[in-house]
Amino acid sequence: MITKERFKLANDVEIPKLGLGTWFIDDGDAARVVRDAVEIGYRHIDTARAYGNEAGVGEGVRTSGIERSELFVTTKLAAELKSYDEAAAGIDESLTNLGLDYADMMIIHSPKPWMKFHGDDHYFEGNREAWRALEDAYDAGKLRAIGLSNFERVDIDNILGSCSVKPMVNQILVHISSSPFELIEYSQQQDMLVEAYSPIAHGQLFRNEQVTAMAERYGVSVPQLSIRYVLQLGLLPLPKTSNPDHMRSNTEVDFEISGVDMDTLRNLEQIQDYGEIGVMPVFGGDLS
């Protein structure tokens, strides 16, 4: 069962191979969603300050009925916090929101503030300062692991050039028809686990005839095929859903995609339209 399997981070902390994403889940619903996921077998929950649901996620963790140590909780430092003091305060605020003594992992949500995501400024100094705050929180035991999200190679190198603790993950957009293989390989070469958010492309893969036909041939759903694809790349998928039936189905990925079919999926034409979420910077849009 995939929910029982683990990756090992560079600092030997174990992280469940499948996580539950909580983007677009309202704070008022998040506790119930987390409890449902835990009952199904999930042990890895991914949230963020920007999602506005840390409080609900934390409540779900605290009321899940299992030991805190059995759950892996990730949250993200807001992309706009680019000074040491802002980042240090943001770390503490997230822990307060969660109602937890520690987070299993915190990652910088983006190297650039969202409103400047497509700008030329990489905020190198600000990211080094934010990383220093994460390192101090890690050393203080507030965080068991620290990492990055949406960082390109140049942004990763900026952190590696001055850090005392190396990033343990890079969480990026990866799914069938959008797999940045060079960035994945480079992140892995730096001993970072790559986490794949939006592994089902927010449902847009249902519109791809090649994907739907292949899923039918394997006797699985499009989400199951998509999650299995990410796992076979050696990555950690973070499918988002609030539906318990979908949560359960997303764990049922005990099959193997053939090498030929993996090559087909690797080389599908890149997706161009993400629907209503296409306005978000990471999906090609511009919030400004």
Q: What is the pLDDT of residues 195-252, one digit of tens each?
A: 999 999 989 999 999 999 999 999 999 999 999 999 999 999 999 999 999 999 999 9
Domain membership flag for residue 128: yes
The distance in angstroms from the start CA to the end CA of the chain is 43
Domain membership flag for residue 288: no
Q: What is the pLDDT of residue 287?
A: 63
Q: What is the pLDDT of residue 279?
A: 81
Q: Using the predicted structure, report yes or no on whether residue 288 has a pLDDT greater than 60.
A: no
Q: Which residue has the higher pLDDT, 278 or 12?
A: 12
Domain membership flag for residue 243: yes
Catalytic residue among 51, 138, 197, 229: 51
CB 46 within 8 A of CB 169: no
Give this prediction's pTM.
0.96
Q: What is the pLDDT of residues 29-79, one digit of tens each?
A: 999 999 999 999 999 999 999 999 999 999 999 999 999 999 999 999 999
Please say if 123 is a catalytic residue: no
Q: Which residues contact 31 (CB under 8 A, 6 or more apart)?
A: 56, 57, 59, 60, 63
User: Where in the sequence is the domain holding 183, given as residue range(s)?
Assistant: 2-283
The residue whose two tokens read 């539906």 is: 243
Q: Residue 216 is part of a domain; what is its CATH number? A: 3.20.20.100
| Residue 17 identity | K
CB 27 within 8 A of CB 56: yes
* Number of domains composing the chain: 1
Q: Using the predicted structure, report yes or no on whether residue 21 has a pLDDT greater than 60.
A: yes
Domain membership flag for residue 216: yes
The token pair at 96 is 């307060």
Confidence of residue 278 (pLDDT cuts 50, 70, 90): confident
- From the number of C-beta atoms within 10 Å of its C-beta (0-12, 13-18, 19+), residue 8 rates as exposed
